[in-house]
Structure 1
Amino acid sequence: MSSLSVKTRREDAGKPSIIKSKSMSSRHTALQHTPVYKKTSKCTGKLNGNSLERMPPEIILRILLYLDAGSLFCISFVNKLFHDLSNSNALWYQFYIRELTKKKKGCQEDQATHGLGVKVVQEKPKGYWRNAFFKEITGLNTNKWRKKLQRIDPYTGLPCHTEEVLRSLCVSWQITVTDGRGRHSTFEQSHASFSSTAGFVFWGAVNWPPFNQITSVELHGVALVPLDCPAAYRPGWKSVMATVKVQGECSELFVSDKVIKMVYVGQGITFGLWKDQLQIAFVIVNLHNHLLVQRSLHPYISSHREARVRALFDDVDPEFGLHGYTAYIELHNTARVLVSDRFSQLFCRRDQISGGFLPLKLIGKNNRCPNAHLLSDVSLPWKTEALHGAIKDCCMFSLTVWDEAKQPFWCVSAPVVITKVNQDTVSYDFDGASFSIFYQDSEGRVEMRLKQMEYKEQYFLVNLVIYISVAKVNKHFGRDY
């Protein structure tokens, strides 16, 4: 469950106070409405050693007015008295209006507060204006980045400015691992890179717990408030983007080289282990660009929830919902795109549904794709704090499938491996060795067949089929195939 990751203590039941403007007179008026916190001593006749705490709360509030937002937030961790005083709406309303006025050029403070009467503002719950200021300073209250995401790349069908928006909102990602004893360890990302279809986030910490002791992994999107205070105390929003159960030593080996072996645990999360050991060298997470900003900022951005789509009626084909699909496939590593192509007008007849899957054939014997070829030198670079290298015959795979209404239907980003297979058929067009790429999850699978032309040092994609789960199709369209 997503939550505002601001460290707080139990709040007092007193009503918050309000400041109407930045002038000293209005500050004085607001402080008059601030509840008075009486401090008594069990030992009568003895003075408290802390002279600041013996001051009237009105005087302390007047002093706190001279602090910046970062210092005011940090001082709330001193004790309960400072926590209650520094979270006063009278103080944070001042910062909110100041930030709002700064962003609206030529707008006076009176215009910014137009329509906010004293009674209306006083009825806001405690902490309301602090959170409003945090959202305003991070840009979550503006529509500028939403407009940027509306610009769609006509080739990939995905937003063009995903990386720009994520960096402008200071979005980062965290991984939390849980061991068999229930202990949690959280790690900040080392760095992130982006392609036109996905983002790749890397962790290279050296103090990971042993891989065989990890039972679950959680991926969080984090948007920190840019306050001038230590990062450990900086407030922000955290979103749970993925939760994966890990089977430790029973996890299937993905691919390896002389130094590293990679284990894919699902939902785009891959562990890089030192070979012949159970120690984690690095972690790579693939994040598909579809609604990536919204998923990273949940719950304040809740538009990423996909509603059920009604299949478009077709009076020619009564099996509407089985045709009109479009797919975009891209094979790439962190440095360059290896191959990419877009396929439209994909369909499947009802009698072709088999084993609970709906097959969509993109490339086959009768529909070759002349541009579907990639260099035979396929590798995935990796890097730790001490070493770096590249795993051969491994790359990233991104898939986006749209339904007939041009709504994203199935989005995948994960590492895949090119494996050699027995040549079961004779091809007069390609005389090289046969290779395959296979991907599968709970929603479907993808099967690719490649031929290697040794003298050209290239792979040619000779067969490509997408299998979508019928249960996913029924849930998406509300039908029963």
Structure 2
Amino acid sequence: MALNMASANVTYRNNVVSDSKGSRPVKQMAAPKAVTSRVRAVSTFKRANKSSPASTLNFMERLPSEILFKILSYLNVSALFSISHVNKLFNQLANDNALWNKIYVAELGKNKRWKPNRIDEMRDRDEGYWKWLYFKTVAECDMDHSLRRLGLISRYTGLPFQTENVLRSNNVTWELTVSDKSGHKATYEPSCSEFCETSVTLCWTGGGCLPNYHQMSTLQLHGVRRVALDCPGLKAPGFRSLMAKLDVQDLTKSARVIGQDKLVALKLLQPGVIIGIWRDQCSVAFVMFTLHFHRLVERSILGSAVCPYVMPVIKPPFDDIDPEYGLHGYQLHIVLHGTVCNIMSQSFSKLFCQRTQISDGLIQLTAISRTIHSRHTPLSCSITLPWRCEALQGTVENCCIMSLTLLDEFKKPFWCVTSPVSMELEKTPVSYDYDGEHYLIHYKDSDGQMKMKFVWMKEQEQFVLTCLVVYVTVSKVNKHFSREY
């Protein structure tokens, strides 16, 4: 489309068209959006020429708009995206639908799934539509390829082997949006992310940027899938998936301190979320989220900016022959770790519960019994949770992160939890087989409970795990297996 508007027989002005041969008004019509976009770019270029002397203008900006569009048409995606951040003129030129439609058709048009029809190409679109569609389609192509890589499953955890690799190779990261009581919002990228065997720990340090603990209103965690571009110093285009939205003021009522050292106190808002607060102050040292690998890729990329990904309900086949269907064949994989290294990692198979053992609405699955000494497990290191914040760092004793994965008899994830937990001294130990102090880790949520008991061997200077029991609610089992226990 020629852009020399002075030589055109028809001019557009305020949506009224005048014939160049006279001033007789002609029937009102709107200019096509593609024309409007380029006219806006040309007008911006003319205003720049009027407001600044030619000697001070950049050489590129003094070129006619037709030449600029021709130059931009030779740029690749990364260069075109980068140049859109130079100034307002180049932003308008680099968002031109014709440029991005050409790129879209050339790179993605061969695929039948993404190939646009001629009607879509010719239809008027908002400025930047084809740019947005190109990045969205590229992200979906990468996502489809990534989800296919998740097919290889670990026999011990029941989780995909490639979870960490898929997240890293697809430039998936996470963002925390913090709102205060005044309505102000700010979004932060994680200061660090530590991958473990079945979970990832994300940490955002304060550095004076986060509002005081009592001023926080909401926390929102988004997974962000970014398109791979070679744009040093620029954030690549990304698509957000809501993973959690927490009302801090409401959760503060039930929040509890699970550990502290000389500098910080750890407040557990809910399972998987803690806030580190400077001792004797209200300022936030860091915010930590722990995320289990179960469906983590899907949760991080398949939701929308306002709605989380909805996990599919996978129900096992109904069995009307086995009288204790849903009470046996469980497999447990449990990991205790800090933010850097593993403390313990172990799997237990063939866990079961008899109908007569169901008590208080809970099904008991015993992995390590106090009376079977051969199963007692010494830990490789002490139970601690290291933290780091700007120039300061510390270690909270008797705290760690627990990642629990319970599989049903079909080796499918049945109950998956990752959360910071604390270890407390038992005042009245029930075991006299060991001479030492006895400790308990007790986790509880709406789906079940987990209890781990330890004894501190002073001479060996290590903890020994003497009991591990998982309790699952009867309602969860009944719903999953279609039973009526």
Fold shared by both chains (TM-score > 0.5) = yes
- Comparing 63-72 with 373-382, greater Cα deviation is found at 63-72
**Aligned residues of 1:135 and 1:141 also touching (Cα < 8 A):** no
**Aligned residues of 2:343 and 2:382 also touching (Cα < 8 A):** no
Deviation at 1:38, TM superposition (A): 8.8
Separation in structure 1 between the aligned mates of residue 349 and residue 316 of structure 2, nearest angstrom: 20
Residue of structure 2 in register with 1:160 after alignment: 161
Q: Partner amino acid for 2:456? A: Q
**Aligned residues of 1:383 and 1:389 also touching (Cα < 8 A):** yes
Out of 324, 327, 331, which is 2:332 matched to? 327
Residue of structure 2 in register with 1:298 after alignment: 302
Residue of structure 1 in register with 2:187 after alignment: 186
Residue of structure 1 in register with 2:243 after alignment: 241
- Comparing 443-452 with 91-100, greater Cα deviation is found at 91-100
Match runs of 1:320-469 below 5 Å: 320-368=325-373, 370=375, 372-375=377-380, 377-427=382-432, 429-469=433-473
Out of 256, 261, 278, which is 1:252 matched to? 256
Separation in structure 1 between the aligned mates of residue 129 and residue 318 of structure 2, nearest angstrom: 44
CA RMSD of aligned residues (A): 3.7
Cα 1:238/1:465, change in 2 over 3 Å: same
Deviation at 1:411, TM superposition (A): 0.8
Separation in structure 2 between the aligned mates of residue 431 and residue 249 of structure 1, nearest angstrom: 39
Deviation at 1:280, TM superposition (A): 0.9
Separation in structure 1 between the aligned mates of residue 124 and residue 165 of structure 2, nearest angstrom: 34
- CA displacement, residues 180-229 of structure 1 (integer Å, 9 cap, x when unaligned): 23322221111211111111112123111001111321111112223455
Unaligned 5+ segments in structure 2 are 1-31, 51-60
**Aligned residues of 1:329 and 1:400 also touching (Cα < 8 A):** yes
Corresponding residue pairs, total: 433
Cα 1:245/1:354, change in 2 over 3 Å: farther
Out of 100, 104, 112, which is 1:96 matched to? 104
Unaligned 5+ segments in structure 1 are 1-32, 42-46, 101-108
Out of 307, 319, 326, which is 1:313 matched to? 319
- Comparing 369-378 with 81-90, greater Cα deviation is found at 81-90
Deviation at 1:378, TM superposition (A): 2.1
**Aligned residues of 1:447 and 1:465 also touching (Cα < 8 A):** yes
Cα 1:379/1:95, change in 2 over 3 Å: same
Deviation at 1:392, TM superposition (A): 1.4
Q: Partner amino acid for 1:393? A: N
SS across alignment from 2:104: helix
Cα 1:333/1:345, change in 2 over 3 Å: same
**Aligned residues of 2:114 and 2:137 also touching (Cα < 8 A):** no
Sequence identity (%): 39
**Aligned residues of 2:242 and 2:308 also touching (Cα < 8 A):** no
**Aligned residues of 1:308 and 1:477 also touching (Cα < 8 A):** no
- CA displacement, residues 368-416 of structure 1 (integer Å, 9 cap, x when unaligned): 5536221462211111111112111111111001112221111111111
Deviation at 1:241, TM superposition (A): 0.8
Separation in structure 1 between the aligned mates of residue 260 and residue 113 of structure 2, nearest angstrom: 64
- CA displacement, residues 90-121 of structure 1 (integer Å, 9 cap, x when unaligned): 32233235545xxxxxxxx9x66899586265
Residue of structure 1 in register with 2:267 after alignment: 263
**Aligned residues of 2:330 and 2:349 also touching (Cα < 8 A):** yes
Match runs of 1:98-177 below 5 Å: 98-100=106-108, 116=115, 119=118, 122=121, 126=125, 129-135=130-136, 137-138=138-139, 140-141=141-142, 143-177=144-178
Cα 1:181/1:469, change in 2 over 3 Å: farther
Separation in structure 2 between the aligned mates of residue 416 and residue 308 of structure 1, nearest angstrom: 29
- CA displacement, residues 24-43 of structure 1 (integer Å, 9 cap, x when unaligned): xxxxxxxxx984329999xx
Cα 1:286/1:134, change in 2 over 3 Å: same
1:225 aligns with 2:224: no
SS across alignment from 2:475: helix
Residue of structure 1 in register with 2:21 after alignment: none
Separation in structure 1 between the aligned mates of residue 76 and residue 246 of structure 2, nearest angstrom: 41
Q: Partner amino acid for 1:353? A: I
- Comparing 221-230 with 265-274, greater Cα deviation is found at 221-230
- CA displacement, residues 293-312 of structure 1 (integer Å, 9 cap, x when unaligned): 11111238998722140355
Q: Give the alignment's TM-score, normalised by structure 2.
A: 0.77
- Comparing 433-442 with 247-256, greater Cα deviation is found at 247-256
Q: Give the alignment's TM-score, normalised by structure 1.
A: 0.78
Q: Partner amino acid for 1:178? A: S
Separation in structure 2 between the aligned mates of residue 77 and residue 275 of structure 1, nearest angstrom: 43
Separation in structure 1 between the aligned mates of residue 129 and residue 273 of structure 2, nearest angstrom: 37
Separation in structure 2 between the aligned mates of residue 117 and residue 306 of structure 1, nearest angstrom: 31
Separation in structure 2 between the aligned mates of residue 418 and residue 83 of structure 1, nearest angstrom: 56
**Aligned residues of 2:265 and 2:276 also touching (Cα < 8 A):** yes
Residue of structure 1 in register with 2:23 after alignment: none
Cα 1:204/1:452, change in 2 over 3 Å: same
Residue of structure 2 in register with 1:210 after alignment: 212
Q: Whose radius of gyration is greater, 1 or 2?
A: 2
Separation in structure 2 between the aligned mates of residue 303 and residue 182 of structure 1, nearest angstrom: 26
Separation in structure 1 between the aligned mates of residue 387 and residue 346 of structure 2, nearest angstrom: 26
**Aligned residues of 2:303 and 2:309 also touching (Cα < 8 A):** no
**Aligned residues of 1:255 and 1:417 also touching (Cα < 8 A):** yes
Cα 1:35/1:434, change in 2 over 3 Å: closer
**Aligned residues of 1:36 and 1:57 also touching (Cα < 8 A):** no
Separation in structure 1 between the aligned mates of residue 88 and residue 392 of structure 2, nearest angstrom: 48
**Aligned residues of 1:340 and 1:372 also touching (Cα < 8 A):** no
**Aligned residues of 1:364 and 1:463 also touching (Cα < 8 A):** yes
Q: Partner amino acid for 2:175? A: Q
- CA displacement, residues 312-365 of structure 1 (integer Å, 9 cap, x when unaligned): 5262x3232222221111111223221222122222334433333322222224
Separation in structure 1 between the aligned mates of residue 302 and residue 449 of structure 2, nearest angstrom: 28
**Aligned residues of 1:308 and 1:475 also touching (Cα < 8 A):** no
Cα 1:192/1:98, change in 2 over 3 Å: farther
SS across alignment from 1:36: helix
Separation in structure 1 between the aligned mates of residue 212 and residue 131 of structure 2, nearest angstrom: 41
